[in-house]
Amino acid sequence: MSRLPWYTLVVALVVLVGFGWLCFEMLNAATTLPKDEQFRWDHIVVVFNSLQTMAAAALGVVLGTTVQQARVDAAQSQASAAQAKADANAGEAAKADAARKLITGLQAPGAPADIKETLRAVTAALT
C-alpha cells in the first residue's frame, strides 16, 4: 500500500492543531469576556465555524485518501490475479486446440474403425 505524501499529513496536522487551539481560545474567551463585548464574540463564532469546516475537510481528505488507496491496492491485486488466471487459461486453450487439430489429422481414411471411433470421441470431448 502506498503512503500519503508527507506534506499532506503536515497540512492536515497544522489545520487540526489550529482548530484545537481555536477551540481552547474560544472556551477561554467564553469565560473571560465581559457581556459588553458581544460583537467580538459573534466574530469569533463566525471564524470558528469557518475553521471547523476546514478541519473537517482536512480530516476527510486524510481519511478518505487512506481508505481509497486501500481500495485501489485491493483492486490492483485482484486484476493481477485475474490476468495471471487468464494467461494460464489461454495456454490451456492453445494446448487443447493443438490436441484437437492433431486428433483430427490422425483420422485418416485408411485407419482402423475402432481407432477412428476413439479419435472421434476424443475430438468431440475436446470441442
Q: Where do the domains of the chain lie?
A: 6-126
The per-residue pLDDT for 1 is 47
Which percentage of the chain shows pLDDT scores above 70?
70
- State pTM to two decimals: 0.40
Q: Distance between CA 115 and CA 33 in Å, rounded?
A: 105
> Is the pLDDT confidence value at 77 over 50?
yes
- Average confidence (pLDDT) over 77-106: 82
Which tens digits make up the pLDDT trace of 24-76?
887 777 777 666 666 667 777 777 788 788 878 877 877 777 677 778 888 89
